[in-house]
Structure 1
Amino acid sequence: MQLGMIGLGKMGANMVARLREGGHTVIGFDLSPQSGRDVESLEALIEALEAPRVIWLMVPAGKPTDDTVERLAQLLDEGDLVVDGGNTKFTDDQRHAKLLAEHQIGFMDVGTSGGVWGRENGYALMVGGTQQDYERLLPALQTLKPQGDSGLVHAGPVGAGHFTKMVHNGIEYGMMQALGEGYSMLESSELVDNPHDVFDSWREGSVIRSWLLDLLVRALEDDEGLCHIAGNAQESGEAKWMVETALHMGIPLPVTAASLFARQSSQIGDPNTMKVVAALRNQFGGHAVTHE
């Protein structure tokens, strides 16, 4: 396939590299001249692509995505397709799809998980959109996904991809919080000599073995006791949206809500629990941590 990629940050740049390694032609654009972009404007990006075009967005949710979609609605032609692979709220997807449909431009939302490891390991992709658009995008999706049968799902119509990613991230919050709380308890115990070894032992045979557990052991190897990581972790939005949406749906989410509140509370403290969460976010997503 030939695609345009808007947004060449940590995720976007790695996705471009994986797509190119898979044989696709990708033309990248970013506002930053230091991004390694191929063109210097949206207009130049569109001019460089053959119609009908596919343009994938990896830009921050909210106004940056709104502004980009509105601009593309004016610049693209009938039959082109816009794919939002960022962390947009699912209700915004429906608004964006409606705007683009007025210009006969297609729209898909793709919840994307994999962080900085995605280029090597592949990305978990949760897709929202029509079956026709899904099949059109499938060659690129198959390149981005991990090897094997899992890692890609057509979750439903427009909005389903980001709704699914929202739930995914809420689950992630709870799992990370549980690991953090467990580590904090082991670290505080007079009975346990080496919490690091305990967590390492759980990587095989245990029912809680997971990639997050592997990443935590890696973080402890890099910084024993997590002494150089500040015990605070930002909340990126998806868990908050999930709790808000669940309130409207009447679905109780005590674990997700508690983990969300813990991250918010971490902004005024420095507990071991949140050091683990901060370390894990850095391991899989490249999110910055504050070193003492």
Structure 2
Amino acid sequence: MDLGLVGLGKMGGNMRERLRRGGHTVVGFDRNRDVSDVASLAELVEALPSPKVVWVMVPAGEPTRATVKELAELLSPGDVVVDGGNSRWTDDQLHAAFLAEKQIGYVDCGVSGGVWGLENGYALMYGGEASDVEKVQPIFDTLKPEGDHGAVHAGKVGAGHFSKMVHNGIEYAIMQSYAEGWELLEKVDMVDNVTEVFRSWREGTVIRSWLLDLMVNALEDDPGLESIRGYAEDSGEGRWTVEAAIDNAVPVPAITAALFARFVSRQDDSPAMKAIAAMRNQFGGHAVRTGAPAGGDVEGKTGATQAPGAAEAGAGQENPTSGAGPATGES
């Protein structure tokens, strides 16, 4: 099918490539003219047959709001907008109501897979009316991993991003556990090879996971994580998860502690946070600190570095209207 894709950064660019490999026609727009297929949103919309489907992969918040608002003036009744960034579910509900006034459908889609999604596929959690989801289904089927799982129509509008938010909260807690275990193993004199201990856990244990695999990758590259500063960003979704838990009186002590641990990392050079930063770098190409930050909690400033290949993957700006940060959070 034909798809318009807005935002061709690390994930958006790879998603365009995966969809094209799957036989779809993708018209991409990005303010970086080197990676963009068209010069404007208007030209992107004009190039699509009806009913038109436009997938937005720009930073959450005002950049996404501005893009949705502009698309509302360009699209027609029966068309569909998909927000595949990391928007908060409350924004989804506002966007859906706004577009419904013009009889334009809206689907929110949480996307996980990071820079590995091009080859492995992306885990997808989407919310919206069944009729709108049906128009996008061929795209979902191509983006998802092979097999029967990896994609879900989670519920009504907002359900996709809410599910992805909780996914990222869980991710915080798992990463924190691996990181704390690594720090303890490194601390004692009796363990001679911490990297090999972690590697041994990858087969047959109850704690094996892809995150564990990535931790081993990071330790192979830098056994003591000496080149990484113990400073870990938070994408915002960990905070939203804790806020939602408070609103619904659901105890989430592990996720909350993992979020607060990242705040601690802004104050001193935590060994465990080196492990968190290394894992984030492995799965998402997130920048890591190699020295004191140049100022503020902004990822990617001076003193940050990326995983090999991450710069190429993120050559396009995620956001066509603003120079804000990446469209996606942890993964």
- TM-score tier, shorter chain, comes to over 0.9
Distance 1:211 1:57 in 2: 27
Distance 1:137 1:80 in 2: 10
Match of 2:16? 16
Unaligned runs of 5+ in 1: none
Distance 2:143 2:229 in 1: 33
Match of 1:147? 146
Match of 2:49? 50
Distance 1:135 1:74 in 2: 23
**What displacement does 1:137 show?**
1.1
- 1:197-221 Cα shifts (integer Å, max 9, x gaps): 1000000011000000000000111
Unaligned runs of 5+ in 2: 292-331
Match of 2:32? 32
Match of 1:258? 257
SS of residue matched to 2:250: coil
Of all paired residues, the percent bearing the same amino acid is 61
- 1:85-113 Cα shifts (integer Å, max 9, x gaps): 00000010000000000111000000000
Distance 1:239 1:267 in 2: 16
Match of 1:96? 95
SS of residue matched to 2:288: coil
Match of 2:78? 79
Comparing 160-169 and 222-231, the one that deviates more: 222-231
Match of 2:177? 178
Match of 1:220? 219
Match of 2:2? 2
SS of residue matched to 2:157: coil
**What displacement does 1:33 show?**
2.1
After superposition, where does 1:123-142 map in structure 2 within 5 Å? Answer: 123-142=122-141
Match of 2:307? none
**What displacement does 1:290 show?**
2.2
**What displacement does 1:291 show?**
2.5
SS of residue matched to 1:125: strand
Distance 1:268 1:59 in 2: 30
Distance 2:179 2:223 in 1: 15
- 1:233-289 Cα shifts (integer Å, max 9, x gaps): 100011100111111100011111111111111112111100111011010000011
Size of the aligned set, in residue pairs, is: 291
Aligned-partner residue type, residue 192 of structure 2: D
SS of residue matched to 1:287: coil
Aligned alpha-carbon RMSD (Å): 0.8
Distance 1:76 1:269 in 2: 50
Distance 2:154 2:7 in 1: 24
Distance 2:190 2:270 in 1: 20
Aligned-partner residue type, residue 31 of structure 2: L
Runs of 4+ deviating beyond 4 Å: none
**What displacement does 1:143 show?**
0.5
Distance 2:179 2:67 in 1: 38
Aligned-partner residue type, residue 30 of structure 1: D
Aligned-partner residue type, residue 9 of structure 1: G
**What displacement does 1:133 show?**
1.5
Distance 2:128 2:159 in 1: 8
- Report which structure shows greater RCO (CA 8 Å, sep ≥6): 2
Distance 1:124 1:269 in 2: 34
- 1:119-170 Cα shifts (integer Å, max 9, x gaps): 0000000010111122221111110000011101000010000000000000
**What displacement does 1:175 show?**
0.3
Distance 1:267 1:149 in 2: 41
**What displacement does 1:232 show?**
0.8
Aligned-partner residue type, residue 32 of structure 2: S
**What displacement does 1:48 show?**
1.0
SS of residue matched to 1:190: coil
- 1:49-78 Cα shifts (integer Å, max 9, x gaps): 112100001000000001111111111111
Distance 1:24 1:283 in 2: 29
Higher helix share: 1
Matched, 1:116 2:127: no
Distance 1:27 1:139 in 2: 16
Matched, 1:107 2:116: no
Distance 2:125 2:143 in 1: 12
Match of 2:234? 235
Aligned-partner residue type, residue 2 of structure 1: D
Distance 1:18 1:140 in 2: 10
Aligned-partner residue type, residue 245 of structure 2: A
Distance 1:8 1:136 in 2: 22
Distance 1:39 1:136 in 2: 23
Distance 2:124 2:259 in 1: 24
